[in-house]
Structure 1
Amino acid sequence: MATLVKTPSGTWKAVIRKQGWPTAAKSFRTKRDAEDWSRRVEDEMVRGVFIERGPSERTNFGAALDRYLAEVTPTKKESTQRAERLKAVPLRTFFGKYSLAAVSPELVAKYRDHRIAAGKKPNTVRLELALASHLFNTVIREWRIGLVQNPVASVRKPSAGEGRDRRLSSSEEKRLRSAVSAYSNPMLRWIFELAIETGMRSSEITGLTMRQIDITRRIVRLSKTKNDNARTVPLTQKAKDVLAAALANPVRPDDCDLVFFGEPGRDGRRRPYNFNKAWLGIKVQLGLGDLRFHDLRHEAVSRLVEGGLSDQEVAAISGHKSMQMLRRYTHLRAEDLVSRLDDLRKR
């Protein structure tokens, strides 16, 4: 049975002591509220479903997010860590001062609609909600901070949308190749050519080490990939020539194993060559602001399909886990299929 005590400040404190359960206590403005809470908690204890909600009411979202970024985020890949810190900014701004218990599905839906109305892309909002959802799952399953359910789980997420269909025209490719070839650092041209020839992600290319490359067998072994699945990428003759030139780079320091290396940092370590600034400058110069470097991967994968490789063969090269994802990243030009249709008619 609950004990109700009137405090010197005029509030009512309810205390519940039940064998097999931790003592539960809470203060209320009125005796009626204290009685209602006591009955609910005692009923939950009888049914074996009671959860101490005090910690979730005392912990705000901002504090939980800080703990997540300090304890959980560092266990992930560096690229994921950077992405999560960026996604955390709008989440903190909107939810930061709310207690965890006060974040309801209605509030999460309001956040979703607010971000979409602000012009953010649906996939951006979807990924932000995914971070919030994992935070709440961690709070419930690992930290045990007294939440009954994940408020993000029941909210409709924005659609990821269709994959980008940006393809390079022959004139764009020619202009880009001319611009990157004219750039002072030849590594930019080598990276550009490898992206189109192999379909590797930019991080996979810039992270290449010399021991991953087998020029004789014309393969590259990737151990660190976006989906954590190691794979071996075959090299076209052109890709082989590009990598051979990169490996023969006369300015590479003797103690550097990176194929594409940057200047030493403050700690004296060399990290992968950061070509983003140069790439963005060339895009602006050529008037190709809508082109992303990742579109070169789309272009490469689409060319593999157009060249007659099967979906399984293309997936083995590109590293896509499912045929559904492969289709999102593959866009065939109708005009490129015309001759193949004619060939079919002649059979």
Structure 2
Amino acid sequence: MATITKRLTADGKPYYTAQVRLKGYPAQTATFNRLTDAKKWAQDTESAIREGRHFKTAEAKKHTVDEMIDRYLSGAKLTKVQDDHTGLHLRRWKEEIGYMLLADVNADAITLVKEKLLNEEFRGKPRSPTTVLRYMASLSTVFTTAVRDWAWLEDSPMKNIKKPTAARGRVRFLNDDERERLLIACKESRNKQLYLCVILAISTGMRQAELFGLQWSDVNLKERYLILHETKNGERRRVPLSGLVLELLQEHAKVRRLDTPLLFPGIKNPLNPIDLQQPWETARKRAGIVDFTWHDLRHCTASYLAMNGASLAEIAEVLGHKTLSMVKRYAHLSDGHVSNVVASMNQKIFGGV
């Protein structure tokens, strides 16, 4: 016999708890956001019990999604950069389905959140399918850990969920004229740090959080490199320094503040990183640069490397990617380099022109 009870979340959203009781079998309970799904589950579950099929583990009935995510985060020890991404994603999942027992989490509950994320706006723009994929990937990692390492679940409910199609990787970089206009506008900015930070971003391909989090202890001007201790993939990365950016950093070191370890401290609070959002937007508009974000400076680095003959493996190493998949978007920019490699191989093997 099945019973379905309507309940409300803390913010007033309805959900439905279905319970199936059959004599001689332990009661089975599941929670759904839609009544129709609760009724279907109850019917299917009654049939499954009569057929003697196996059910969720006892552990899955003891722990909530909140508890699962909290345990994962306590052991993961995310860096600040990772927390800005993975931590952000998981906190959102806690808000949406944290109250649910693991035994109750199904494809329907996750799909509803997925669709909600896809239909939301973030900073005035629709959230991209690629971003939603990252939200799902973060949660999938936690479920996999709960299955493999803790035995809280027999299987991950993420396996059979249709994932949104990721958009093609964006490749927006500055041409020579745009780059010259932008750098002039940055140099003329009232903020004296903007020009150096933009040069540093283009020269190294560092992410914004990596750059603004730099401390003087991370920089070795004598040996011409800096070390990124907190990166998105959790691995340290050595970044070489040369040319203009090295000269600018050497000048910057002569006027460094002694009340903060940061290379680029905030104006009001030197213990916090500098905020260049407004100076950046002002310089970008004065330079007449459209459809271009700070993150696109990283695309500039990769694109310029590709156009100057760097291999995808070398670009991935500079940007700090573990695999080549993220840098394949720049492959077309190095077609000339690839053609030369192929021509050289043919020349050595077959001779001739």
Change (3 A) 1:213 1:152: same
Deviations 1:224-270 (A, max 9, x none): 3222333322223112112112212x2x33243322222475xxx71
Checking the alignment, whether the CA contact within 8 Å between 1:126 and 1:158 is kept in structure 2 is yes
Return 95-104 or 201-210, whichever deviates more.
95-104
* Distance in 1 separating the partners of 2:177 and 2:166: 31
Q: Does 1:327 align with 2:334?
A: no
Checking the alignment, whether the CA contact within 8 Å between 1:301 and 1:330 is kept in structure 2 is no
Change (3 A) 1:123 1:311: closer
Checking the alignment, whether the CA contact within 8 Å between 1:187 and 1:260 is kept in structure 2 is yes
Deviations 1:50-98 (A, max 9, x none): 7227726xx6xxx623x45544335212233233454357645654665
Checking the alignment, whether the CA contact within 8 Å between 1:302 and 1:331 is kept in structure 2 is no
- Secondary structure in 1 aligned to 2:272? strand
Match of 2:317 in 1: 316
Q: Does 1:120 align with 2:120?
A: no
Match of 1:21 in 2: none
Match of 2:73 in 1: 73
Checking the alignment, whether the CA contact within 8 Å between 2:229 and 2:235 is kept in structure 1 is yes
* Distance in 1 separating the partners of 2:239 and 2:260: 23
Match of 2:4 in 1: none
Which one-letter code corresponds to 1:253 in the other structure?
Answer: R
Change (3 A) 1:201 1:70: same
Q: How far did 1:194 drift?
A: 0.9
Checking the alignment, whether the CA contact within 8 Å between 1:210 and 1:257 is kept in structure 2 is yes
Gaps in structure 2 of 5+ consecutive residues: 1-19, 30-41, 121-125, 345-352
Q: Does 1:232 align with 2:238?
A: yes
The 5 Å alignment of 1:122-161 reads: 122-141=129-148, 145=152, 147-161=153-167
**Corresponding residue pairs, total:** 305
* Distance in 2 separating the partners of 1:117 and 1:297: 28
Q: Does 1:178 align with 2:180?
A: no
User: Matched residues, percent identical?
Assistant: 26
Checking the alignment, whether the CA contact within 8 Å between 2:69 and 2:142 is kept in structure 1 is no
Which one-letter code corresponds to 2:73 in the other structure?
Answer: T
Which one-letter code corresponds to 1:131 in the other structure?
Answer: S
Match of 1:261 in 2: 265
The 5 Å alignment of 1:168-317 reads: 168-248=174-254, 250=255, 252-263=256-267, 265=269, 270-284=271-285, 286=287, 288=289, 290-317=291-318
Deviations 1:319-342 (A, max 9, x none): 2322332223566298x98xx99x
Match of 2:57 in 1: 51
Q: Does 1:102 align with 2:108?
A: no
Checking the alignment, whether the CA contact within 8 Å between 1:208 and 1:258 is kept in structure 2 is yes
Change (3 A) 1:115 1:54: closer
Q: How far did 1:275 drift?
A: 2.1
Q: How far did 1:182 drift?
A: 2.2
* Distance in 1 separating the partners of 2:271 and 2:96: 38
Which one-letter code corresponds to 2:114 in the other structure?
Answer: R
Which one-letter code corresponds to 1:76 in the other structure?
Answer: L
Q: How far did 1:120 drift?
A: 2.9
What TM-score results when the alignment is normalised by the length of structure 1? Answer: 0.70
Change (3 A) 1:68 1:328: farther
Match of 1:165 in 2: 171
* Distance in 1 separating the partners of 2:73 and 2:284: 33
* Distance in 2 separating the partners of 1:228 and 1:39: 44
- Secondary structure in 1 aligned to 2:239? strand
Q: How far did 1:172 drift?
A: 2.3
RMSD: 4.2
Which one-letter code corresponds to 1:217 in the other structure?
Answer: E
Q: How far did 1:306 drift?
A: 1.6
Change (3 A) 1:143 1:289: farther
* Distance in 2 separating the partners of 1:277 and 1:325: 29
Change (3 A) 1:70 1:271: farther
What TM-score results when the alignment is normalised by the length of structure 2? Answer: 0.69
